[in-house]
Chain A
């Protein structure tokens, strides 16, 4: 006769991003999940592995003129222009709600100079309810003629260093895919002291209206996201995971359990769900359930057994 004792119906989905422990590997990507409250009635926020909130700058930004988005084949282009409430209003208006969530909240920060990155990080210091900082390095460096920090290994390392030096929480650096060798950038930010790397940000693209012969986006160019970019993102996550010691978080066109598992197999310790949130606000919870079923069905002792388990 068998006794069923202490059999946990929930498989072990915990993952570690350096010193940060997540109850599961499913997070929501910056800029696709607002400040989380927008989604509170649509899914159980408390079940998520982590929430990355909309990118914050030192001062409020009103963003780009319309049109800001356009659908493309299996994806979309956006040029929102980093519209956000600024760090002060973020702390006074958004943090009180986020603090009440039983989920790690990661604050995405952006700036157009090293000083700005440093100052935002300083302001976020000591604020209760922030589990980590994610650094968006895809922004143009105004002092270097507008070249994006994230396209130059030295500038990427410099931003990482300045944020790491100032931050009192783990630092995750989000890489831009608009480079010729993503491994160089990954090693640079690792050398700069990053605790983890998330990738990829959007791929720069454009769309043209042939009737008017004008660009569809007011900003002319924008960032491509959605299922269209997944193979590129997966390849880059695979390459980066091979190149660095620190944990890697996979982002790019994930809209199903299988997509998320692919990134984990390629070496990602966790994933972020982005554009798919726009189509199905419940998708992150559905993917989480799918991963849970997969781990159970495969009789794995932990999702951690799957990280980087790609069989080549």
Chain B
């Protein structure tokens, strides 16, 4: 391609390269671990948001059960590392794979349901998985043969969770994971970008817009829906694994929580569902708002207010506003404000390379 890049495209590239450069430099510029950890967790949440968007945004199957993949990935890594001594990074593909298999297992039957019925089924799957994993050790102890599994070491740890071995040099360990998560996030974005332009993406968008019409034109809706969920599950499983390795402690009640599933639904919706960059934007807004509210503490004379949990109220309000006034999310709002060709090109809902 010999075409001269229009200045706007150039600007977009500069912004992209600039922000990437800043992210690479961040751990060096801010020596303290707070910003680094915030950035790390934001990378993970961007990855979650973008991964969820493959099923929820592209194929239009709104899943409230994605915490099952997150938890499974985290526990796969923790359990394998604790029981076999395999170095944790080697368990990443296994974590993703197990999440993917689980995605197939519950996606295959539930994806036959349409729209809200699928979503309701996923809530059930999510809650059932959470309860099962939280009580797994206790349940196994009562089964004659299987109790050997939990005789010496816990499986999910129940209410007390699992703790991984903390490495001696925590600084360089965290730094490695910072860059690892950054790379993984870029990888997830690349996958999401590739799907949009691929034959696979065309099928997903067609299913999203009209499953019956897609089916008449030869698209096997059940097959592509399940495939999309499996890709999404794999990526979310890897995030779970990275989370466990970075924080060393995981609790089934938290990893499999409904709140995590909700977060994965909220982030893309806030940012702009079904788009490439919307879920990224949504995740950043989500994490930053949460962090600011968690750490803000207002003192006003004798009154002292802190905003822990206030973020949930704010997200609820945001969600209502978005659904009522701007289904395109923050991105849609930006696009409407600017009317810019660049934004429209970059974020068009379902455009495919022709």
Query: Do A and B come together as binding partners?
Result: no
